[in-house]
A = this chain, B = another copy of it.
C-alpha cells in the first residue's frame, strides 16, 4: 500500500518535494494504446504553480521525462515510468520544521512514524507536489477513456464559502464546463468573487478551502464490483490519497441523507430506447456498479494549512509551546490547482475498473 494503487493496473508513486526527482511507474496497461504527449503536458500545465495571482511563486516546468513503456507514441506493454526532476528548491526554508511541527501538516505525524529519518524539506513525500506524478498517470488514463467516449470534468463547486452552479443533475452535460482552464467555474460572477476571497485571505496572511465537483460522462452501465470493489470505494481510496482532501460523497451524498426514499430514489424510464433514470441522485452508481448515468462526486478540500500568520506550535525537543512563523512559498488556496488532480484520480480509478470489468464479459 502506501504509495501504490490499483487492482488491474499498479500505480506506484515516488519522490520527495525537494529530492532529486518525483515520478511514477504504471504497470498493467495494455499494449497499443496511443499516447499524446503534447496533450498530456497541456493537462499537467493545469496543475502547475505560478500561473496567476492566486498561486505560489515557485515556478516549475513539470514536464515529465518518460523512461519506459512508450514506443512510437504507443504503450508497448512494459510498465510506463516517468519522472520530473526537482529544481528551484529552497530547502533552507524548512530547517526548523523538524523540531517545530506546522499545524495542519504531516510534520508531527511523520516525525512519530519515521522517528526523525523522514525528509522534512518541503513536506517530503507528503507534499502536494506528489500530485504531479498522479497527474501523469491520470492524464494518460483520461486520454484512453476519452477514446471510449468517456469524459471527465471537474470544477470549483465552492471556494471560500462562495458556491458555483451545481452539475450533478445536469446529466445531459450541455452546460459549458469551464470558464477557463486556470480557474474552472461555471458561473463567471461566482468565479470573480472566489478570486476576491483568495486575495482577501492572502492579504490577511490566511488561506481558504473549497469543494470540487467532478462528473464523468459516457460511462457504460456495469463497471465496478460489489462491496469493497464498488466505484465509491475505488474512487474514494485514491481521492483520499490527495493531500488536503477531507471529504467525498457521491450523487446527493450528505444532502441525500436528509431526504426521504421517494425523493432520493431515481425512478427508471425508457428514453430513445435506452434505460435511464429520471434523476441522478445516485451519482451514477448503484450497488457499487455504474448504471449508465454520469458518475458524480464532490471532494472537500481543507484550507491550505501553511499560512503566513503566526501560529502556536511546540518544540519537540524542549516539549514546550512555541510560536511558529511559516516561511516559504505557499498557495493561499490550492483548490484551483486541485481540480485537474481530482480529474486525474477519477481517471485512474475508472480506467482500473474498466480493466477489471473486462474479466466479466465472457
Partner of A32, one of B224, B254, B260, B362: B362
Q: A3-B78, A104-B264 are in contact. List 7 more A-B contacts (CB 8 A).
A: A15-B79, A106-B287, A206-B260, A209-B260, A233-B241, A246-B251, A358-B359
Interface size on A (CB < 8 Å)? 153
Shortest distance in angstroms between A102's beta carbon and chain B's nearest beta carbon?
8
Which residues of B have CB within 8 Å of A362?
30, 32-33
Q: How many copies does the complex hold?
A: 4
Contact at A252–B246, with CB atoms within 8 Å? yes
**Chain B residues whose CB sits within 8 angstroms of the CB of A191 once the complex forms:** none
Tell me the A251-273 residues at the B interface (CB within 8 Å).
Answer: 251-254, 256-270, 273
- Whether A103 contacts B265 by the Cβ 8 Å rule is yes
A77 to chain B, nearest CB (A): 4
- B253 lies within 8 A of A303 (CB): no
Instruction: Indicate if A50 sits at the interface (CB-CB under 8 A).
Output: no
Tell me how far the C-beta of A300 lies from the nearest C-beta in chain B, rounded to whole angstroms: 4
Partner of A21, one of B67, B114, B269: B67
C-alpha gap A230/B237 in the complex (Å) = 9
Using a CB-CB cutoff of 8 Å, which residues 63-87 of chain A contact chain B?
A: 65-69, 71, 74-81, 83
Is A210 an interface residue when CB atoms closer than 8 A count as contact?
yes
Instruction: Give the Cβ gap from A128 to chain B, nearest Cβ, in Å.
Output: 11
Residue of B nearest to A242 (CB): B227
- Residues A312 and B269 in contact in the complex (CB < 8 Å), given A206-B262, A228-B241: yes
- Which single residue of chain B is at the shortest CB-CB distance from A197? B260
Contact B248 A249 (CB under 8 A): yes
Which one of A52-60, A116-124, A182-190 is at the interface?
A: A116-124
Among the stretches A6-14, A38-46, A171-179, the one at the interface with B is: A6-14
* Contact in complex: A68, B113 (CB < 8 Å): no
A279–chain B nearest beta-carbon distance, Å: 10
Residue of A268, A303, A320 most packed against chain B (CB within 10 A): A268
Bound state CA distance, A237 and B359, in angstroms? 22
Q: How far is the CA of A303 from the CA of B263 in the complex (A)?
A: 9
Residues of chain B contacted by A361 (CB below 8 angstroms):
30, 358
- What's the Cα separation between A32 and B236 when bound, in Å? 30
Question: Which residue of the partner chain, among B8, B74, B238, contacts A359 with CB atoms under 8 Å?
Answer: B8
Tell me whether A280 is interfacial, beta carbon within 8 Å. no
Question: How far is it, in angstroms, between the C-alpha of A190 and the C-alpha of B172 when the chains are bound?
Answer: 41
Task: Flag if A209 contacts B19 (CB, 8 Å).
Answer: no
Shortest C-beta distance, A62 to chain B (Å), equals 15
Complex CA gap A316/B8 in Å reads 30
A247, B237: Cβ atoms closer than 8 Å: no
Contact of A28 among B210, B259, B359 (CB under 8 A): B359
- Measured CB to CB, the nearest residue on chain B to A71 is B119
Chain A 195-234 against B: per-residue CB contact (8 Å), 1 yes, 0 no? 0000001001011111100000000011011111110111
19 contacts between A and B (CB under 8 A): A13-B227, A16-B78, A20-B66, A22-B68, A23-B67, A67-B83, A77-B118, A103-B267, A109-B285, A207-B261, A210-B257, A246-B257, A248-B249, A257-B301, A261-B304, A270-B320, A275-B314, A358-B359, A358-B361
Q: Is A302 an interface residue (CB 8 A)?
A: yes
Whether A355 is near chain B, meaning CB under 8 Å from some CB there, is yes
Known: A246-B249, A282-B104, A316-B275. A258 touches B209 (CB 8 A): yes
Beta-carbon contact of A76 and B206 below 8 Å: no
Chain B residues near A15: list those with CB within 8 A. 67-68, 78-79, 81
